[in-house]
Chains A and B, each alone.
Chain A
């Protein structure tokens, strides 16, 4: 019985996600198909060949028919086929890439939250000491650094400097093995992806921690004779976590967005790389597909974040 409300809530949210995904992908689909020219223009084809190609992809039909087919396909999870790599089905491609992006993104999220909360808590319990000042000012530096700048610096250190220092014995090599890469290949991009947000989390954690530490129940915890570490970890941290969860949604979006750049720098075969490549190639079916996938991912990530709330704060129930 306790779960009925929650299940109902999840159902509603899923419905909303489906609606948003449909709306967003429709807008993009129609917008893109109204653009003059197409992928085939650039290829040196004779008019008759061109016509044949257009016909083969159904691009010579009225827009509303194309849109209807697209919608029907979308409802079955079918995003059509690529124009450039002719005949490649987009759905499995994009699905696999989404997994790769999610893998890197999840690790980045872990870095962000772990590092951010650690620094935030330390700054808060050492408020107004040099440690606090150091962390607070580095936090501004941190969130002023775009992730591709962080990536560049990491590359300079791990790829260039480390190679020179070890005489080429040990260094980071841009690249990706297999479908999901190796731990070394994931962790540096994930760090670059998460670092700018870690400082946001740190700032928020610090503020929230300072707020919580002034609360009456912290005084109560101390009055019980609890050791200070337990007061912080058991009583303060969990309450300080509540506002931090509110930025988890924007954080996931930020990491997803950042992955577009990071995947292109590090050559990670994820959604972001596909997105940019297909835009540059004018492979518009894939552009629509990836964007659809992004909308779905964001919706699901936000839902997961919202489901986290009641676990941390018992006052919240759905």
Chain B
């Protein structure tokens, strides 16, 4: 296999607030292969956005990356000079955000904003960049692209705005696109269109995509591999098929139970897991999920579980794992419904090609 496009190793991000140090991300490691679509899921506040922003070098104040490595095409982004990172930003790695309205500048024309990454990296003069922006808008299926390019963001619909954001991301044909909850702010029908667009773009341009979402249905439809995060850490990782069929971390399992049917997808929070995510200033000792875990055992209270192989290409950080939970504790009867039963998430999942 060729070396990964992106390697994240033991990433740590802290926020230095008046109330104390918020350990927003702690020891996150993963790889992204060329052309791959990787999903990152988890409740809001678990550190997905900060992980993504750290790749862009854009962790906001008072946050700071306090440790780890982020290797892009073999070069560590964290040890680069700010100008070098800026040169990669928007050219080799692009990012689009949750709310396309607030993410677009209200006082600049859409076409110009789409053209701007090309101008920023001296890819074209202004006239050619603007012309190419119209092409890009067409490519992301914006109707009447010339007209829309001359419009301001407030004159576009939500879906059009997100398409414009995607066009902006693609402007310099990056090898990697980070999409942070790209559909959360959109209507259901528009959500499906945008996901469709991302899938098509990935197939046509071979752009690798990191898709961040708290909606498992979105992951199921699009990704090949998934990372599940909880309280700043990866709790489970594997192919989308394995994860949906045989989740091993209780958190993943509970998440799956709370997924609404795909045809009823709403941008709603995953609220069916009892309790709240922990305070990241003083996270619980042992497994960070233990206060909410129905299957916890003694070591969970004291020993943080390592992320270890639980099946081929699947890893989970759990002392119990669902296999044991089912066998020894009768998990399904304990909580009365089997994961996935009646959840309808099986529809879009296809058996991944094992290579």
**Among A48-56, A147-155, A160-168, A224-232, which stretch is in contact with chain B?**
A224-232
Q: Report whether B107 and A225 are in contact in the complex, using a CB–CB cutoff of 8 Å.
A: no
Q: Number of contact residues on B: which range applies? A: 20 to 34
Known A220-B104, A239-B105, A315-B154: A225·B58 in contact at CB below 8 Å: no
Question: Which residues of the partner chain B approach A238 to less than 8 Å between Cβ atoms?
Answer: 107-108
A223-B94, A225-B120 known; A217 vs B104 contact (CB < 8 Å)? yes
Q: How far is the CB of A255 from chain B (nearest CB, A)?
A: 27
Instruction: Find out whether the CB atom of A222 lies under 8 angstroms from the CB atom of B89.
Output: yes
* Residues of B70-124 contacting chain A, CB below 8 A: 86-91, 94-95, 97, 99, 102-108, 116-117, 120-121
- Which of B91, B106, B168 touches A239 (beta carbons < 8 Å)? B106
Query: Would you call B227 an interface residue if the criterion is a C-beta within 8 Å of the partner chain's C-beta atoms?
Result: no
Q: Are A224 and B116 within 8 A (Cβ)? A: yes
Main secondary structure of the interface of A (DSSP, over half): helix
The answer to whether B90 and A312 have CB atoms under 8 Å apart is no
Please tell me which one of the listed residues B91, B104, B105, B165 contacts residue A225 in the complex, with CB atoms under 8 A apart. Answer: B91
Cβ of B152 under 8 Å from chain A: yes
Q: Closest CB of chain B to A291's CB: distance in Å?
A: 39
B120 touches A224 (CB 8 A): yes
- Across-interface contacts of B234 in A (CB, < 8 A): none
Pick the contact of B103 from A217, A239, A314, A315 — CB < 8 Å? A217
The closest CB in chain A to the CB of B102 belongs to A216
Interface bin, chain A: 20 to 34
A219 and B97 contacting across the interface, CB-CB below 8 Å: yes
Please measure, in the bound complex, the distance between the C-alpha atom of A242 and the C-alpha atom of B120, giving whole angstroms. 25
The winner among B89, B99, B102, B105 for most chain A CB atoms within 10 A is B105
Residues B87 and A220 in contact, CB atoms below 8 Å apart = no
Would you call A225 and B90 a contact (CB within 8 A)? yes
Verify B99–A216 contact, CB threshold 8 A: yes
Contact A220 B89 (CB under 8 A): no
- B residues with a Cβ closer than 8 A to A are 56, 58, 60, 86-91, 94-95, 97, 99, 102-108, 116-117, 120-121, 152, 154, 165, 168
* Pairs A–B under 8 Å by Cβ, sample size 10: A217-B106, A220-B165, A223-B89, A223-B94, A226-B86, A235-B105, A242-B107, A314-B152, A314-B154, A315-B154
12 further interface pairs, Cβ-Cβ under 8 Å (given A222-B58, A225-B120, A238-B107): A215-B102, A216-B102, A217-B103, A220-B168, A221-B105, A223-B56, A223-B89, A223-B94, A224-B120, A225-B91, A235-B108, A242-B107
